[in-house]
Amino acid sequence: MSTAFPSLWEAVRRATTGPRLSHALVAIAGVVLALVGDLALVRIRSVEPGEIVVRRGTLAPHVPLVGTLSPARSDSYGATVPGVELKILWLVEEGSLVSAGDRLIQFDPAPFQKDLDAARARARELATEVEQARLALAALRLKSTAEVQEARTSTVSSERDLSALVNTNAPLTARESEHDVAQKERSLEEAQEKLSGLEPFVQKGYISQEEYRTARSRRDQAAADLELARARHAALVRQTNPDRIRSKIEETAKDKAHLELLRERSRVSIAQAETAVRLSTIRLEEANRQIAEAEKRMALCTVTARAPGLAVHSEVFDRTGERRKTRVGDSVWGGSTVVTLPDLSRMIVQGRVPESEIHHLSPGQPVVVRLDAFPDRTLTGVLRQIGSVGASEKNESRSFPVTVWLDQSDSRFRPGMVARCSIRGARTANALYVPIEAVHNDDHGSFAWVSSPFGKPTRRPIVVGVSTSQFVEVRRGLREGERVRITEID
């Protein structure tokens, strides 16, 4: 009562504090009688046409949504070989339910079969070439090893002969020659002494002239032998042995050079042979790669399902420009989709909600769904996503895309079915509300026309809150039980 009649209580307070209490009581009694009469008149007056009573209760907005049924996940299948046009030899029947691993499309593998045959023939040739190159490399290694070993043996022998010549043979022959000279010197001395010993006896006639001549001949022969031995010794020491040593050194150096030449030649020859083996192996690997690529492309000609779903053929434009479904005999390029396989185990509803209803929505809100194809069946779902980009409609209003995930699934559900949804918005308890038609707006804000039993309706500013498709919450400006006009008052 203190809220409904603040002026009355204020008048009582002033009157009771003044000196003229009796006059105040009389005035208060008159005011009370007048108010009682007014309230009685308000209560007995019926609701007139165009009037609405302000009520209090719970606002539970339900946002309607009309959308289409779609699979939550859908796989596309087609020609996956880029840059190649493939002919369809077989195609799964549209509308059939397939399981993972079932065949969906069979393309003509003939173009890849030719590449495969050519690559296999090339690989066989290269395999023979690689084997021959490896055998040639092995033979070359054996030959090079034998030649190098022989040259090494010859070099070692030359070095050994040189060492023997320098350290043994040459000194020994020199000593032998020197010894021979010494013997020849002794022989000459002996012959000279003998000859000298015979001369006195020759004069006395004790020795014949013949014996004397023989002794002298022996002395002369010994002198000649000594001279020859000395000449030989000098030649041996000064020329023969040095020449032999020099010749042996040159021979040893030649053998060493030949050994190094054979080693380098073997290294180069083996490197060339190894390169030939590597090149042949690389060409063989390339041929094998081409075989694998051709086999992979042939395998891609058979397209199987990765997951279960409902087979849907893609649409193409024929030569007349009309759209039709893909069929056997058509040729498609790599990257083109031939069959779409929506997964019917999880379905969603996609639609658009007017901009004016977006404030009621938030992800996670429950949704009631009915399909036109199954009108007697009620489904449930959850608001999963609200789009952030709006689009203009024909009436210049804007709408936003929303996605609802269904809690139930059925093998009879098909993509494209019409779904009618009711999204439950956030509930507002103990709200004061009026119909949407009772709220008016102008440049100054929202207002309502409040009815009065004593005269014309009066304009009253109000503050509104949440709204549904039918009602608006009034947060300030009206009281429960008051009556407001729906129509505009001139």
What CATH class is the domain 77-108+302-342? mainly beta
| pLDDT score for 12 | 43
The tens digit of pLDDT for each residue in 45-83 reads: 566 777 889 999 888 888 889 999 999 888 999 998 888
Quote the pTM value.
Answer: 0.53
Give the pLDDT of residue 47. Answer: 60
Assign a CATH topology to domain 50-67+344-485. Answer: Elongation Factor Tu (Ef-tu); domain 3 (2.40.30)
Residue 150 is predicted with a pLDDT of: 93
pLDDT of the residue at 224: 93
**Residues in the chain, pLDDT under 70:** 1-47, 393-396, 488-490
Which residues 6+ apart lie within 8 Å of 162 measured at CB?
Answer: 245, 248, 249, 251, 252
pLDDT at site 46: 60
